[in-house]
Amino acid sequence: MIYTVTLNPSFDQTIVCEKFQINALNRAIDTRQDIGGKGINVSKMIEVLGGSSRVFGLLPENGSTEFINSMREFNLADYFVIVPHKRIRTNLKIVDQSLDSLTEINQTGPEVPLQYLEIMVEKMLDQVSPGDIMVLSGSIPQNFPPDTYQQLINVFNQRKCKIILDADGKNLQSCLSGKEKPYFIKPNLLELEQLTGKQLNTIAEIDQATEPLLNRGVRHILVSLGAKGAFYTSAEQKYLLDSIDIEVKSPVGAGDSMVAAFAFGLQTKQSIEETLRFAIAAATAMVNTAGTSTPDYSKIVNLLSRVNLRTFDQ
């Protein structure tokens, strides 16, 4: 089973403007609202790929009914712990059609008593089994300690789960400093540069920067490179994946789609090559889809033949 964890869910409101101007009146030509949070996005894409997951997390009470109803529209299994007297945050995405650009304004979200995290962990411990896949992704409540994900990794590695981590900043740094390590991480280039403290200009430099992480116990690393594609490395294999030239309607959720494809490939025992091809195809289909809605499976399949995967030899 795949479990996704969303500790700081959101409503993602996308506003499309023909030409967005600062300090001026802007009129929207299109708007939409989707449920969000990286774990939610991962579960939505897993569903598209033909899999299923159980969605755990902490859901503020105010707005929870609308949120859960939207989850059901995506056939997502809700295992959220409701946090009373708190409001779900709203993230604003402004799309400028003239520049093909995206401006994001993300709310921090409410403070959440730590006791609700403990309740969530107990619920999960009642269900997980050895070999289950757990996706920890996205931001955490502002009052949670930076090692929150590390604490979860410590607990669920003991249950022999395979932990997929997609976090940034102190959350990522903490998880790579502790004794227990995630099974898979997906930093983008900026996050990897922040980890190493230096600019990485070539694939060889990126490869060199990931080596210490593999040596510390991370099994798989997928570095997303935006318009340049992605770089995958493990102790056994290294691959370069070119991006696919396609109209970008919204870059939101592309990284989450990569994570979803990896989790699904792991669960269904696909080869790493097939898994990576689906990761690029799913991410590409996602950026070609408006807002944070999900693409059709047929779109992903049609893109598979356009994925260029190359072995990397330093």
The tens digit of pLDDT for each residue in 224-249 reads: 998 889 999 999 999 999 988 887 77
Angle at 7 (CA atoms; ends 78, 259), nearest 5 degrees: 80
| pLDDT at residue 42 tops 80 | yes
Q: Is the pLDDT of residue 292 over 70?
A: no
The stretch 4-20 carries a mean pLDDT of 94
DSSP class of 248: -
Nearest to 104 by CA among 14, 30, 197, 22: 14
Tell me what the mean pLDDT of segment 159-183 comes to: 88
Share of the chain above pLDDT 90, in %: 77
- What six digits make up the tokens of 174? 């903490």
Kindly tell me if the per-residue pLDDT of 47 is higher than 90: yes
Tell me the average pLDDT across 31-36.
90
**What confidence tier does 183 reach under pLDDT thresholds 50, 70, 90?**
very high
Q: What is the fold, at CATH topology level, of the domain defined by 2-19+29-311?
A: UDP-N-acetylmuramoyl-L-alanine:D-glutamate ligase (3.40.1190)
Tokens of 206: 């990126």
Least confident range of 42-46, 156-160, 166-170, 257-261: 166-170
Instruction: Return all residues near 108 (Cβ < 8 A) that are at least 6 apart.
Output: 89, 142
pLDDT of amino acid 314: 65
Predicted pLDDT at 86: 96
Residue whose structure tokens are 């699904």: 264
Average pLDDT over residues 63-69: 96
* Token digits of residue 17: 């403007």
What's the mean pLDDT in 116-124? 97
Q: What is the pLDDT of residue 291?
A: 62
- Give the pLDDT band of residue 178 (cuts 50, 70, 90): confident
